[in-house]
Amino acid sequence: MRDKVLFLLCCGLIVGISFVSDIRILLGTMALFLIASLKNTPVLKIPVYSALFSLLLVLPYTVLQYVKGTPDFHATILLPARSFCILWICSSVMSRINLLKVFDFSRDLTMLIAVTLTYVQFYKRTMEEFFQAYISRSMGKDSWRDRKNLILSMSGYFFHLSLRLSEEVHQAMRSRGVIEDDGT
């Protein structure tokens, strides 16, 4: 029950922050989030990543506004502040709740979330193994070209892995009668 209440509270906060257009309220909310994060050190990474993502989100918009000659400082501050707050809420709440308990009213949703979480953990573990192998083989002498090649090879590997796994899951679901074969 606690997980469901936290999830609904998270959804309500996201909707509420989406409608806030006063920069002072959003900046105050950001300050509260940062103060709350200081008490819990592992959660402190969330605002840092959220801030970086927010800056990446607003940078193209700001550059485009300056190129057009119509800079809008209100939107330049509002967009990253809003995305920061929403990302922080999602990250902090989702790390504290069990999604399987939130959606336990539907067997299909529970199965879908269980499969999704399994894939997330599998991909995370595979990516960590990639980086460990890269570190052990590079011996600390990596260049930009090596990193670019690593990212490109990982992207190709994960793309092909996703295709293969999705085909296997589709065949398994079709053989169990979950998906009806339409002949195509």
At 12 the pLDDT is 93
pLDDT band per the 50, 70, 90 thresholds, residue 125 = very high
| pLDDT greater than 90 at residue 146 | no
CA distances to 65, 87, 132 from 80, rounded to whole Å, are 15, 10, 33
| pLDDT greater than 80 at residue 150 | yes
At 184 the pLDDT is 53
Q: For residue range 23-54, what is the model confidence (pLDDT) as tens digits?
A: 888 888 878 877 776 766 555 566 677 677 77
Burial class from Cβ neighbours inside 10 Å (0-12, 13-18, 19+) for residue 23 reads middle
What does the pLDDT average to over 17-23?
Answer: 87
For the chain, what is the mean pLDDT?
A: 82
Domain extent listing, the chain:
2-100, 104-175
